[in-house]
Structure 1
Amino acid sequence: MLKPEVDSLVPHVPFDRRTFIKAALGTGFAACVLPVSAQTIHTDSEGLEAGEVSIKSGDTMVPAYRAQPKGKTHLPVIIVVHEIFGVHEHIADVCRRFAKQGYLAIAPDLYKRQGDPTQYPSMQQLNEQLVSKVPDSQVLADLDATFKWAGEHGGDVNKVGINGFCWGGRIAWLYAEHNPRLKAAVAWYGRVAGNQTPMTPANPIDRVSDLQVPVLGLYGRQDQSIPQESLDKMKQAIAQGPQAGRGSEFVVYDDAGHAFFADYRPSYKQADAEDGWRRTLAWFKAHGVG
């Protein structure tokens, strides 16, 4: 349940685009989704080591938000893949929620080389000027570096899962097809099919034959951006794919749309979000991540 892990609700704060400045990774929200909702959940960092770290990936130092129980080692690891809006306060909070459950949770900034997603005032600008320029190959390499970093900083690389939202849900699927050392994945409303571009040459449905681990897919039936037909095709492809992925499951919430876990947005559906969170924790534990 989410409620026992929160200590307060963040109040609604009026937003002035002219004065908005992102202070640090894992703070603030993207300009195109503000103001945040009064129902926004805040999880404290008591008992945790939490904050920004740097991960060397190729010739780039990739910033990441990390949270883990203070003084503990050999921890199970959850790589948290951010939404289209980057590593903002909600993603940092999710890391703290996982850390409260005993995990080393880490969310790398997978847009580091392309720019700062918080500064775009519209979704169209964010998509066209930043997100469309991020290559999948770069993202997967950064996640490999994150996996390695976690193993060198208190995490157990034999107990690693990945959890992604929205843009990151698609990436969670792709990483589950990419890394055989991963134990399990959870994809929240992540696209499985779509256009192929030079930056995104294949979608999860195109690489089902490479699926390495079971994936829990959490979706909303009212999500206009992810047709149910695409999920049905993904299910069929998985059923005919390798044994490793056949344990995958899909949960579709009838009344939910896209971003139903995003408590800082009007799309939030509390009952479905809390059910999905329970399923997520159970999924990781059932598959050796915990």
Structure 2
Amino acid sequence: MSAHAHGPANRGRRVLDAAAPLFVCEPAGRPVGGALVLHDVFGVTDHAEEVCRALAREGRLAVSSYLYHERGGPAFAADELARARAHMTELTAADLAADVGAALGYLEARRAGPVLVVGFSMGGHLATWAAADHVVEAAVAVSPSAGPWPGVPAVEALVARRRSPWLGVVGGADERVDADRLRAAAGRPGPPAAVEVVDGAGHGFYRAGMAEHDGGLWPLVRDFLGRRGPLG
């Protein structure tokens, strides 16, 4: 497995724009699938990179888009929440759609196979948008809080019109995400969809580390995909 940064070819954007560069983790052998990891408000942090590495250990070609690449840096520290939120609000629906599309296009060009999209907090909103606008293996939205982007529909509306299987994973103590509303949207006709609750977990529970929450998050993802075996 190897990791590096890569800037995919410009796809579907204005001529002078460049798609967000990617953090890329290569699997040890031929990919059994692809994965797109969409970061939370803090950017491509150690957490996002570790998720990519875990998915690469699963045999997936895993990438994470540097969505803040035009706004001063790929990541922010935990004590820089105000700065991170300011950068998040400056993102536009057009750029986000293009960046997600470019990352999926990169995985398609690499012939990675079926693509799993995983997003955290604001990235969970984007992963749900990807499930509504693209056909992927599945989208997993962890703590999917609404992003402040005009032109991006609400999470519940996107779940209701999904084109791909969708899993929402919500902390039981998360006051920012309404699990009942997500369940109602998941009950609308369409590809398989479900909402799972991690008991006692708050909004950013996933940041504590994958190993600590192995009893919660990743088995849920594995089961939803109908797979068995380690996921990190």
Q: What are the ranges of 5 or more consecutive residues in structure 1 without an aligned counterpart?
A: 1-47
Q: One-letter code of the match for 2:8?
A: I
Aligned partner (choices 259, 267, 271) of residue 204 of structure 2: 259
Contact in 2 for aligned 1:261/1:273 (Cα 8 Å): no
State the match for 2:230 in structure 1. none
SS state of the match for residue 56, structure 1?
A: coil
In structure 2, what is the equivalent of residue 164 of structure 1?
119
Aligned to 1:5: none
Give the secondary structure class of the aligned counterpart of 2:62.
strand
Q: How does 1:122-137 map to 2 (within 5 A)?
A: 122-128=80-86, 130-137=87-94
Residue 56 of structure 2 corresponds to residue 99 of structure 1: yes
How far 1:79 moved relative to its partner? 0.6
Number of equivalences: 222
Query: How far apart are 1:95 and its partner, in Å?
Result: 0.6
Given candidates 72, 93, 99, the residue that maps to 1:115 is 72
Matched, 1:221 2:172: yes
User: Do the aligned partners of residues 121 and 77 (structure 1) sit closer, same or farther apart at CA in structure 2, a change above 3 Å counting?
Assistant: same
SS in 1 for 2:206: coil
**What is the deviation of 1:150?**
1.1
- Would the alpha carbon gap of residues 196 and 49 (structure 1) be closer, same or farther in structure 2, given more than 3 Å must change? closer
Q: Structure 2: how far apart are the matches of 1:52 and 1:237?
A: 36
Work out whether 1:53 is the aligned partner of 2:6.
yes
User: What does residue 231 of structure 1 align with?
Assistant: 179
Q: 1:68 aligns with which of 26, 37, 62?
A: 26
Q: CA deviation at 1:204?
A: 1.7
Note closer, same or farther for the CA distance 1:149–1:196 as it changes in structure 2 (3 Å cut): closer
Letter in 2 for 1:56: A
> Cα distance, 1:189 vs. partner?
0.6
TM-score w.r.t. the length of structure 1 is: 0.69
Q: Which runs of 5+ in 2 are unaligned?
A: 228-232
> What RMSD over aligned residues (CA atoms) do the two structures have, in Å?
2.5
Shift of 1:78: 1.0
**Correspondence for 1:32:** none
Structure 1's 153 and 85: CA in aligned 2 closer, same or farther, altered over 3 A?
A: same
In structure 2, the partner of 1:21 is none
1:56 CA drift (Å): 2.6
Alpha-carbon distance change, 207 to 154 in structure 1, aligned in 2, over 3 angstroms: closer
Q: Which structure has the larger Rg? A: 1
Alignment of 1:139-288 (within 5 A): 139-156=96-113, 159-179=114-134, 181-191=135-145, 197-198=149-150, 201-226=152-177, 230-239=178-187, 241-244=188-191, 247-263=192-208, 270=212, 272-285=213-226
Counterpart secondary structure, 1:55: coil
Asked if the contact 1:211–1:242 (Cα under 8 Å) also holds between the matched residues in 2, the reply is no
Shift of 1:74: 5.0
Shift in Å, 1:148: 1.1
Relative to structure 1, the CA distance from residue 196 to residue 189 in structure 2 (aligned partners, 3 Å threshold; closer, same or farther) is closer
In structure 1, what is the Cα distance between the partners aligned to 2:34 and 2:149?
31
